[in-house]
């Protein structure tokens, strides 16, 4: 049978067709616009997601035996607020994960409601990108829109609703709303009261691999697929990417160098760090995970190369970098504010340490190192919980750079396993669809079958020591400049 994985990203929807053995038959990508109506705001039109997803699926299945398509599932950008009225019309453009407008609402939740209560209710504290602060912002600034809300959903769940008519979400994606009791995998009554919403406005919760419905007949006709094609809940993009890299079960790690950057650690047991610096979420495998999230990762390198250096040849810019561990230039990677571990939407990027002999390649190197140092901050929090991590998988656009992988292995002092197919959330979505359609009994089984390690980048002791010294200096920069933001 064939399975479709849909990765609803920030810049495009990526669709992947996989068979039951894990072989990828075709990949299609469709872009859509991103809107910045005010400084720090970030929005998209959900209708664009569905239009492009439908076009993408048609192209994806155009050359296959469509009768073999058994299931569709998703990985999707997390935290975005999609609000529908009672006629199922989108009330306003979706407020996205990297939107920074909710500073006041985040402070209200963390300071007045209190971090201790939030952690008790949801296992997490408020971050500007989370969904609950967005609801409070809408309630205050757009009360007429807020009063029209009939359904609250996350981006990928809008696709599932349009495809199947099922008002659903999964526990991994819902964990990032600050509305769910993560430990017990249910909506938090206390948080619903705080946000002024009801359980009826929220979707039904599913595990990521559970079937939520089948294609609507009219949708099936448009796609040329059977109306018996199952729609499976899917997962938040990071959890779906973790499935796609085999980061399931206990004590596995994955680092994603995408638009945002994450360090993702799977666990069979529930846990929360003392300062809530890491997110404690439900995982797509039926268990839990800890995650540190940077708002800008590979997007830092894209910004530096394309907007400042005016080039898209990332490889050429990195080719001249030779002396690792000796760069005197530091870069703070906070272009859009920061989540883990600083939780500061007002933080901004900066270079420090330039001199008259600083070269172009030193600046490029600083960007790659700065992002990695930022991820190391989250790794240190995980280590403080007693987690022993010796190796990590890697995915995302930044993972295509052999230099960046070497930098990461040595700054983190981890073995970096490179997998055969770095298709991230789209592959994870297709794998979840296969589990939902009973091709495999559980997520760990399909991960063991499909995910293959083809190379490992080993840390080098001398370089690890040099980068350890650099990291200790990097750690001091943010506290020193924090008051400037």
Which residue ranges make up the annotated binding site for substrate?
78-79
Q: Cβ(101)–Cβ(41) under 8 Å?
A: yes
**Maximum distance among all Cα pairs of the chain, rounded to whole angstroms:** 67
47: left (phi over 0), alpha (psi -120 to 50) or beta: alpha
Angle at 36 between CA 237 and CA 363, to 5 degrees: 75
**φ/ψ (deg, to 5) at 279:** -80, 135
Dihedral sign for Cα atoms in the order 156, 185, 262, 309:
positive
Write out the two tokens for 196.
């002024």
Q: Cβ(449)–Cβ(290) under 8 Å?
A: no
Cβ neighbours, 10 Å, residue 203: 22
Q: Would you name the residues annotated as active-site residues?
A: 237
DSSP state of 335: B
The DSSP secondary structure of 123-178, one letter per residue, reads SS---TTSHHHHHHHHHHH-HHHHHT-SEEE-HHHHHHHHHH---EEEHHHHGGGT
Q: Cβ(278)–Cβ(246) under 8 Å?
A: no
Q: How far apart are CA 149 and CA 435, in angstroms?
A: 33
| Residue 325 CA to its chain's centroid (Å) | 29
**φ/ψ (deg, to 5) at 303:** -60, -50
Helix axes 237-244, 424-436, angle to 10 degrees: 80
Helix axes 155-164, 46-60, angle to 10 degrees: 60
Q: Summarize the annotated binding site as residue ranges.
A: 78-79
DSSP state of 297: S
């Amino acid at each position: 049978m064939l399975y479709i994985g849909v990765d609803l990203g920030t810049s495009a929807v990526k669709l992947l067709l996989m068979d039951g053995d894990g072989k990828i038959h075709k990949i299609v990508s469709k872009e859509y616009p991103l809107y910045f109506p005010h400084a720090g705001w970030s929005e998209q039109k959900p209708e664009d997601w569905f239009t492009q997803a439908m076009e993408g699926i048609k192209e994806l299945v155009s050359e296959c035996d469509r009768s073999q398509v058994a299931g569709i599932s998703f990985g999707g950008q997390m935290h975005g607020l999609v609000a529908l009225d009672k006629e199922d019309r989108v009330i306003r453009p979706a407020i996205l994960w990297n939107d920074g407008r909710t500073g006041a609402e985040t402070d209200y939740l963390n300071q007045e409601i209190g971090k201790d209560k939030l952690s008790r209710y949801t296992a997490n504290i408020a971050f500007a990108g989370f969904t609950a602060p967005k609801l409070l912002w809408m309630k205050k600034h757009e009360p007429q829109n807020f009063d029209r809300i009939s359904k609250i959903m996350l981006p990928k769940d809008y696709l599932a609703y349009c495809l199947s008519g099922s008002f659903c979400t999964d526990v991994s994606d819902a964990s990032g709303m600050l509305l769910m009791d993560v430990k017990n995998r249910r909506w938090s009554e206390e948080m619903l009261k705080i946000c002024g919403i009801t359980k009826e406005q929220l979707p039904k919760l599913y595990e990521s691999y559970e079937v939520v419905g089948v294609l609507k007949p009219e949708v099936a006709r448009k796609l040329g697929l059977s109306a018996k094609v199952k729609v499976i809940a899917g997962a938040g993009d990071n959890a779906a990417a973790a499935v796609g890299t085999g980061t399931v079960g206990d004590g596995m790690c994955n680092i994603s160098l995408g638009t945002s950057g994450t360090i993702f650690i799977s666990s069979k047991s529930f846990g929360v760090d003392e300062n809530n610096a890491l997110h404690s979420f439900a995982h797509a495998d039926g268990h839990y995970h800890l995650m540190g999230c940077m708002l800008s990762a590979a997007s830092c390198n894209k910004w530096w190369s394309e907007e400042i250096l005016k080039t898209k040849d990332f490889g050429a810019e990195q080719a001249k970098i030779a002396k690792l561990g000796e760069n005197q230039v530091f870069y703070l990677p906070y272009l859009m504010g920061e989540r883990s571990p600083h939780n500061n939407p007002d933080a901004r990027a900066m270079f420090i340490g330039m001199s008259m002999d600083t070269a172009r390649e030193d600046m490029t190197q600083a960007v790659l190192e700065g992002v990695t140092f930022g991820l190391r901050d989250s790794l240190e929090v995980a280590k403080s919980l007693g987690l022993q991590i010796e190796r990590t998988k890697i995915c995302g656009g930044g993972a295509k750079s052999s230099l960046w992988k070497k930098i990461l292995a040595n700054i983190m002092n981890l073995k970096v396993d490179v997998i055969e197919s770095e298709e991230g959330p789209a592959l994870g979505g297709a794998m979840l669809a296969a589990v939902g359609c009973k091709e495999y009994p559980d997520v760990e089984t399909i991960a063991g079958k499909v995910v293959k390690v083809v190379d490992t980048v080993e840390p080098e002791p001398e370089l690890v020591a040099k980068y350890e010294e650099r990291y200790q200096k990097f750690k001091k920069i943010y506290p020193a400049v924090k008051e400037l933001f």
